Amino acid sequence: MPRPALYSSSRTTRSRPPAAVAAPETAAPTARPSGDVAPPQPSVAAAALPAAHPPALRRQLFVLWAIVLLLAALLAASAWQHRNPTARKITQEDIDAAVLRTLETTTPPSAAARAVESIAPSIVRVVGYGRSKNGKEEVERGIGTGVVIVDKGIILTNLHVVAGTDRIGITFHDGLETTASITGAQPENDLAVLQAHKVPDDLEAATLRSTQNLRPGDHVVAVGFPFGIGPSASAGVVSGLGREFTSPEGKRQLSNLIQFDAAANPGNSGGPLVTLDGEVVGIVTAILNPTPARTFIGIGFAVPIENAASAVGMPPF
Q: Which residues are catalytic?
A: 160, 190, 269
Q: How many Cβ atoms are within 10 Å of 150's Cβ, its own excluded?
A: 15
Distance CA 26, CA 36 (A): 20
DSSP 135: S
Q: Which residue intervals of 127-202 are DSSP H helices?
A: 159-162
Distance (Å, whole) CA 272 – CA 83? 61
Beta bridge partners, 156, equal: 147, 193
Q: End-to-end alpha-carbon separation of the chain, Å?
A: 64
> Which has the closest alpha carbon to 233: 245, 242, 224?
224
User: What is the DSSP secondary-structure string of 243-271?
Assistant: EEEE-TTS--EEEEEEEE-S---TT-TT-
Distances (CA, A) of 218 to 42, 98, 251, 258, 259: 84, 31, 31, 11, 11
Whether the bond into 248 is cis, omega within 30 of 0:
no
